[in-house]
Amino acid sequence: MKVGILTGGGDCPGLNAVIRAAVRKGIFHYSDEFVGFTEGWRGVLDNKTMKLDLAAVAGILPRGGTILRTSRTNPSKHADGLDRCVDVLKKNGVEALIAIGGDDTMSVAARLHEMQVKIVGVPKTIDNDLSGTDFCFGFDTAVNIATEAIDRVHTTAEAHNRVMVVEVMGRDSGWIAIYSGISGGADVILLPERPFDIDEVAEQLKRRHARGRYFSIVVAAEGARFKSDVDPAHGAPVVTEMQKDEFGHVRLGGIGNVLAREIERRTGFETRAVVLGHLQRGGSPTAFDRMLATRYGTGAIDAVHRGESGCMVALHGTDIVTIPIAEAIGKTRLVGDDLIEVALGLHEMLPKKEEVA
Ligand code: F6P
């Protein structure tokens, strides 16, 4: 069978491990032939391909990034984009496509499935926010990078009697923030799931310092939101760039510095911010992510040969299963109350505002 593979959206450690696993199992066990579409959906749209044989995937297991490169191209935003994709796939003799990406990539995969393209998705995002799977590969690596950074920041915060704010990625969900924050022993963790009151954050830090602690660590997801009267349910995020990409996302980032300024102003404690940014997406995947990515890669090519389409491989407990793509993109998977309770349980409760008044 001739199988196409592409990687779309933000890169993430483990992409190469998925490609390698799918290609090796496909060639060794199913006598498949592969074609790589480069730069995400742009490669399908513009017929940009690369050879994907055993030599192409040799030595890529531990490498970050993606040998296929990636982009945030949305074919639906280009004239006849989806039809062009179908034509290009036909021209290349592609009988099934493996699309590795997050919710944006999966949304295009779902459209192409409706147009009779045989397609299997693989869930990728360091944000870990795709529904229908327990984990996306890349998340574990990002958490480990962020946790190590928090550990490092701890020692310098302690040395200087400072508050250090660590801004981590997480556009719509705070998975990296809650995992790295709890693992790194942060004193305050701010997530997109729960808009925060900056006065309460300051109060929390003042109480800690009143107990004799002389430094603090605040971990904030880039998508964490200030409580806002304008939109009480969602709060107000800090946005770097209002211009939207082809999938309708504004560019977040910058909350770390805003928080540092507001915390220092309210507490008088010297405060600094560290923005981890794309460091969290670069470099070699952890062993956990290599395993998960490899299982997803072999799971995807197996699904192709079972004749499945319009589905995404997923991790349920310890099993690799397939679920309808529609289930994965229906809604963002948010951090649950159970984990938030773990984080809150480690810190003293603030008196409610009415009790203070
Ligand atoms: O979707 C993954 C992600 O890493 C988000 O956490 C972040 O907001 C975004 O990608 C950054 O995208 P870019 O690399 O295009 O700046």
Q: What is the 3-state secondary structure (H, E, C) of 146-196?
A: HHHHHHHHHHHHHHHCCEEEEEECCCCCCHHHHHHHHHCCCCEEECCCCCE
Nearest CA owner, ligand 1 atom 12: 10
Q: If you measure from the C-alpha of residue 11 to the centroid of ligand 1, how many angstroms do you get, rounded to a whole number?
A: 9
Q: Ligand 1: which atom is nearest the Cα of residue 280?
A: 4
The predicted structure's pLDDT at residue 351: 74
Nearest CA owner, ligand 1 atom 11: 10
Q: If you measure from the C-alpha of residue 241 to the centroid of ligand 1, how many angstroms do you get, rounded to a whole number?
A: 13
Q: Give the residue ranges of the chain where pLDDT is below 50.
A: none
Q: Quote the strand ranges of 214-352, DSSP E.
A: 216-221, 225-226, 236-237, 239-241, 251-252, 271-275, 311-316, 319-324
The predicted structure's pLDDT at residue 261: 98
Residue 244 CB: number of other CB atoms within 10 A?
A: 10
- Candidates 150, 140, 265, 127; CA nearest to 218 is 150
The predicted structure's pLDDT at residue 356: 54
Any ligand 1 atom below 6 A from CB of 10:
yes
The predicted structure's pLDDT at residue 290: 98
Q: Residue 251 burial (CB < 10 Å; 0-12/13-18/19+)?
A: middle
The predicted structure's pLDDT at residue 302: 98
Mutate to test the pocket of ligand 1, among 7, 15, 127, 141 (most ligand atoms within 8 A of CB): 127
Q: Which residues contact 291 (CB under 8 A, 6 or more apart)?
A: none
The predicted structure's pLDDT at residue 338: 96
Q: If you measure from the C-alpha of residue 9 to the centroid of ligand 1, how many angstroms do you get, rounded to a whole number?
A: 8
Active site residue 337: no
The predicted structure's pLDDT at residue 203: 97
Q: What proportions of the chain, in percent to the nearest 5, are helix, strand and coil?
A: 40, 20, 40
Any ligand 1 atom below 6 A from CB of 125:
yes
Q: If you measure from the C-alpha of residue 288 to the centroid of ligand 1, how many angstroms do you get, rounded to a whole number?
A: 22
Any ligand 1 atom below 6 A from CB of 127:
yes
The predicted structure's pLDDT at residue 353: 62
Q: If you measure from the C-alpha of residue 277 to the centroid of ligand 1, how many angstroms do you get, rounded to a whole number?
A: 8
d(CA 261, CA 268) in angstroms, rounded, equals: 10
Any ligand 1 atom below 6 A from CB of 143:
no
- Candidates 116, 36, 41, 119; CA nearest to 85 is 41
pTM of the entire predicted model: 0.96
Options 11, 103, 104, 127, the catalytic residue: 127
- Candidates 250, 161, 261; CA nearest to 212 is 161
Tokens 């030599």 belong to which residue?
55
Per the CB < 8 A criterion, the answer to whether 273 and 260 are in contact is yes
